[in-house]
Structure 1
Amino acid sequence: MAQGAALGCLTIASLVVARWGGPAVLGEYALLRVLPWLTGVIASAGLPVASTFFLAARTGSDPRLRPTLLTLALAGSAVGLLAWAVAVPLLHRLFFPDLSPGLLLLAGLTVATQLFTVWGKACCQGQADMLGANIVIVGEELLFLPAYWLVSHAGLHGITAVVVAMVGGGAAATALSVGRLAATGFFTGRAAPSLRLAREVVVFGARAQLGNLLWLVNLRLDFLILDALAGPAVLGIYAVASKFAELMRLPATAANYVLYPRFARAERVDTDAEVRRLLPRALALTALATPVLALAATIALPLLYGQAFRGAVLPACVLLVGLAVEGASAVASAYLWGIGRPGANSFAMGLGVVVTVALDLVLIPHHGAMGAAASSSAAYLATSAVLVGLTYRFSSTGRVSTVVASRAEPL
């Protein structure tokens, strides 16, 4: 329900930005949602995904863990802000030629707000505070809307209004996320951060974040190439198609979100049995939803966004083909992270990147949004096949690699 509400808020936000700003502004908004988040999680070495694992596993009882995670979050934010500031001239030249360097620098504040929001949500997840995680999931997307309404009625327009609203809404989301942690006692205690724990968190997070980064390349590389080759207007149309198709991720993301810390806490034999039971069910769930969403795309996209976005219908249907297996991918990823095998997950994502890059470079120059959709769909199918294969390999009796020492040790 929280994921659905958040997706509804994001859909409303994209619709409002599209109506008030047009396809070009919507395309820039799509990039500004991705690039600062990417900067933050890279600068923090995958801290959010590592925080969930370490808090859910036995290490979560160590009083030094929480101050260590907070220190890493602060350090990651500082590094991310500095990296964004240094990269502003390059970002202006490559992706945002219509934005002034000053406005682009202001957008960099969302590096810190997005990192702290996502980190707080991950800590709630690892502590089994699913109510808190759900509140942050919804608030993260909801708070942009009142911020955008306020700045628009204050006289700001176009991409300027979007950037200021993202900074204001992001700050509010950060306050909500950190406030929830404070309310659950996360910051209580006087233990000092641990250098040993910090190294373990960074190593695990880096291995897991490699997979997340490769997954993001699969998911958003077509955005960058499409923007560079066809311009923000075409990207805006494709962004609508992509966001609609990603409705398929709603049940899959929910399953991954709940199962990841659950697998990390459970005994290995129970985890192996449960993942083999859940994989076919998760696959059937998203496969059966595919034709329903394809039919909905033909009706909803022109109706909601206007005739200017009718070209988004066919790319959305093509993307849905690849996302039909998303349920199995989500459960498999949760399993591989939960048993301490983030490198295996990253391997599967790496194969998807190879498919994405090869097909994007071949198809996008000649087919635009349709080429981007076809390459992404093929990459989703390839990645899912590898993830499921690795999951069955590790979970099969007699072929499981035993996790030694602490469940929190990165393997």
Structure 2
Amino acid sequence: MHDILFRALVGFRQNYWFWPTTMTLAAVILGFLLPWLDDRIGTDWIRSVPFLRATQVDGARAILTTLAGATLGVAGVAFSVTIVAVSFASSNYGPRLIGNFMGDKTNQVVLGVFVATFVYCMTVLSTVHARLELAQSTQEAFVPQISVLFAFALTLAAVGALIGYIHHIPESINIMNVTAHLGDKLRRSVASMLDDEDRRQREEEGPADVEPWTAAPPGRDATILRAETAGFLQQVDLDRLASLARERGVQITIHHAPGAFVVQGEIVLSAQPPRDGDDALLRRLRDCATLGSNRTDVQDLLFLSDQLVEVLGRALSPGINDPNTAMLCLNWLAAGLTAFARREPARPARRDDPVLYRRVTFEEMLDRSFDQMRQYVASDRTVTLHALDVLRGLAASACRPAMAEACIRQMRRLAASAAERLDETVAKDEIAEALAAALRDAADRAR
């Protein structure tokens, strides 16, 4: 059940049709409810409003038909513009950023307003009828005045949504906004992970290093949860695993961090020593881990940093050659890494903890990001100097010598790569001077 709920939540976040479908269903309900209310109230109230006139049958039909056709046409245009924006973002920024555009609630709500207006007008139109002479009775003409006025209100809302949509689309593909969104999400995710880690810490101790921890192979008699299909480990419920471990008197080991790709049959979780009712324990372990075909940003911090690196790599490709965008990506990557560097880590995992797992460290995120981008950054003199300045600032913010040492290591690697790739002697001298100045500042933090 937990796995199904998580998949549904991730799907709703990136499903372009969720809000339009919800608003369309609401429009259908209103399309039947308001005419029923009109029938109950009657039309006498409209005479007391001086600026309103009762609409006749032909007029109501013409109004509703016109509004329905116009809003449906604009909805098609809005959908087409969104697809163009998604295609542009995919080709220029990277295909892994499509989910950010598809999950944009503004686009979903705007399309929902247009589709809901069309459906509402068509539903109300079905209730409008002229005077009918039947065999044994006469059915009086019916025009739902309140419903027609509400159709006008929905149309005005659609016009306002169109104006906002025209403004929003250029803003959503503005590279400054794209990188700012990714960088701010990375910073908040780092802070959230560290806050959760502090909350889960069971003992009040002084700051301690979070050392990389590798899970040992489980024993033969351990309860083992294996991947039923290949995919990415999207989410692990650490709180439920800790409660389960204490309840059953076992120690649970998480063999992969969120974001790791596992093949079918590979070990995901294990619990030992064994207890009676291993099948029940296995079912509960399965509810605490979610595998899927895509990486998500729920617990996978490296997915967010990888997106910034991907945008940077495309910006420095020969076909685009946009160093300003690359420097923007470095700035927002530094925002997330600085939030990481300034926080004192919690105590490391111990062999007697109820749940053993390894989370992402500052050094791992730094090395992964700069190792992937080095070949692109080193080919541009301006971006290389900016990257050295970013590493210099990260070293100054480091709360532990190991973090500053990681920054120094990346400075040296970047400068060496730039010396090999750049042909201009002046540029090489500038980078050498910047490296020397950065190393002098970072050396004090590494001691």
Kindly indicate which of the two structures has a greater share of residues assigned to helix. Answer: 1
Q: Based on CA coordinates, which of the two structures has the bigger radius of gyration?
A: 2
Kindly indicate which of the two structures has a greater share of residues assigned to strand. Answer: 2
**Do they fold alike, i.e. is TM over 0.5?**
no
TM range (shorter): under 0.3
Bigger relative contact order, structure 1 or 2, given CA contacts below 8 A and separation 6+? 1
* TM-score calculated relative to the size of structure 1: 0.24
* TM-score calculated relative to the size of structure 2: 0.22
